[in-house]
Amino acid sequence: MPEASSRILVDRSVVRLDGRPFFTFGTRLYLTPQDRLREALATMIAAGFNSVGSPPCSPGTLPLLHDFFDATEATNLMAVLMTDQRLPEHGRYLAENFSHRSSLHSYVLSPRSPDKNGLNSFLRERDTLRTKDLFHPISIPINARHTDPAWFQAQDIHTISSPPRQIVNRRIIQPRPAMEIGRLRETMPANAPHRPILATDVPVGIGDEERLLGLYDDDPWVKRFPARSTEWFPWLANLIRMPRRDFLGPDPEILRLQVYELLTMGVRGIMLDFYEMFGGQAPYTGRDRFLEAAQLAQEINVFQDFFAEGQLTTHSIETGHPRLGASMIRHGHDSLILLRMDGYEEDFFVDEAYMERTEISIAHEGGEDLHAWRMDFPMARKLDIHKDSVGTLRFLAGPLELTGLILLTPGSKRPQELADEIAGRLPFVARLALQQLEVRHAKISLIEGELRALGAGIDNSERLNSVYKILRDARNALDANDFATCHEMSRAGTRRIRQLVKYQVARALASPYHEKSELLSCLRMNYHTLPRFYRDGAQETARAFTDLT
């Protein structure tokens, strides 16, 4: 067996790859069959991901994992090796078979209970693994219940995993990893070692609770998995039997806000939930979420130095709006302000999350003159900045949709380099934005057709036609190589779709059909299940009338 080696180095709170700061951004594989591994990984690398989480590794899945590592090395992706939760304390298999792989990023061992027995179990497995591999980082998913300082001392990387989804008061609660990071930091001892924080399992798909409620029709995508998959992952047998309709994870805008929330928490890496949740049979597909993740990957790649080794500052930033948050990351002499709309609502994404004017105020004590630049796609642009007598910097950030990036810098070289990088990626990002609008328009058109056939919901025909006109104009702009216009129009069409969805879900929330049915209560909160909500609601009403009479 070749000697173990590692291209990854944990330098205090920074992960470095071949000596360069490295921000881990990718997704996990779970159910992709061996004959489609290279295709899936090639799609990930083309989208801008740099890492991938492995299927659960155990002695029974070694052939699959060897194919997986062959594919990661062929596509230049770094592989986070995940152990199988059903077989704890088998770390020696990992090191004996994969420690020599050039694409190995780190080991993530099975979760442990926060008590002393769980800690001792992890320490035993970690030490066994360390004797086989001295170089690669080792961690386990931890959360705010792991309050013993020994947990923090024992990790090479602090890996945060979201708790399982829960159904509370007839509502499916989607966990937010950033909240878990906030709780964890509150419990960290003052002398906790500086470790990079990676957020894993950022949800892009549905949970078991939604399936158990029976929210979905048959999904042809699941049926593509080979029969052996149920031998590797027994829970997949339940997945195949369950009725379902689309993977119905968070809408793309929610995924974007979740990622930006994590960036404002100073994480050094983000691993999205399963890649397979980005698939599905058109028009019920998760591809719109994949395209949003790919756009996020481009933004992260442009500003990787800030996210990989920049330091969060404590500057007080006033955004002028209660639903607009801001954080600042400093890297060298430059600072990056991350703006993020607070788009979470109790039941669904209700706000259009678009601002025409945003005024930013920040206390500045330094003597040097700073320049402000908006650094979003489709292009970077310089902002007028004013400094008052007490040192407060004020500037108009301009229109904002969901998120925004502003660079504060004393010079012009850095913003020009970043502007050139944005311009170079714009053709690709414009195509991503257009494809996302095409996918969402197809999905929404089908749902709206079903609602009209049922005589339920709001007639959105006129709004849908306006989206199609925007889509047509965006295609024409792309054909003319006007990438900035294509990007702006595509995102404008997506905003129109968000507003259209908002109207339909708001009407469903006001419907009387949910009072006594847990299923109907959940159906009405997801736009993609509204046709079934109205069908089942009408049947329930008719049944209640029959029982009464």
**Contact between 158 and 139 (Cβ < 8 Å):** yes
The model's confidence at residue 218, banded by pLDDT at 50, 70 and 90, is very low
CA distance 200 to 161: 5
Which of 58-62, 223-227, 306-310 shows the lowest mean pLDDT across its residues?
Answer: 223-227
* Rounded-to-integer distance, Cα 241 and Cα 210, Å: 14
Per the CB < 8 A criterion, the answer to whether 230 and 255 are in contact is no
* The two structure tokens encoding residue 408: 């504060």
- Position 435 scores a pLDDT of 97
Q: Is 535 strand, coil or helix?
A: helix
Give the Cα separation of 380 and 365 in Å (integer).
Answer: 26
Instruction: Please provide the distance, in angstroms rounded to a whole number, between the alpha carbons at the two ends of the chain.
Output: 78
Query: What's the pLDDT score for residue 304?
Result: 95
Q: What is the pLDDT of residues 20-38, one digit of tens each?
A: 999 999 999 877 777 788 9
| pLDDT in the model for residue 245 | 47
Distance between CA atoms of residues 197 and 181, nearest Å: 9
The three-state secondary structure class of 255 is helix
Domain spanning 8-308: CATH 3.20.20.80: yes
State the pLDDT at residue 167: 52
The pLDDT of residue 383 is above 90: yes
Residue 43 predicted with pLDDT over 60: yes
- Domain borders along the chain are 8-308, 311-411, 424-548
461: number of Cβ within 10 Å: 11
> Which two tokens mark 546?
């029959």
Q: Is the dihedral of CA 282, 284, 289, 292 positive or negative?
A: positive
Q: Could you report the per-residue pLDDT of 410-468, keeping only the tens digit for each? A: 988 999 999 999 999 999 999 999 999 999 999 899 889 989 999 888 899 999 999 99
CB atoms within 10 A of CB 366: 9
Q: Which of 365, 364, 369, 339 has its CA nearest to residue 354?
A: 339
pLDDT value for 25: 97
Whether the full predicted model's pTM is greater than 0.85, yes or no, is: yes
Percent of the chain at pLDDT > 90 equals 44
Stretch among 234-238, 319-323, 473-477, 505-509 having the lowest mean pLDDT: 234-238
Does domain 311-411 fall under CATH 2.60.40.1180? My reply is yes
pLDDT at 208 over 70: no
The residue-averaged pLDDT of 385-399 equals: 87
Per-residue pLDDT, 105? 95
Partner residues linked to 271 by β-bridges: 26
Q: Is the pLDDT confidence value at 57 over 70?
A: yes
Greater pLDDT, 233 or 3 = 3
Q: How many residues does the chain have?
A: 549
Q: Is 413 helix (H, G, I), strand (E, B) or coil?
A: helix
pLDDT confidence of residue 16: 95
Average pLDDT of 514-524? 71
pLDDT of 238 over the 70 cut = no
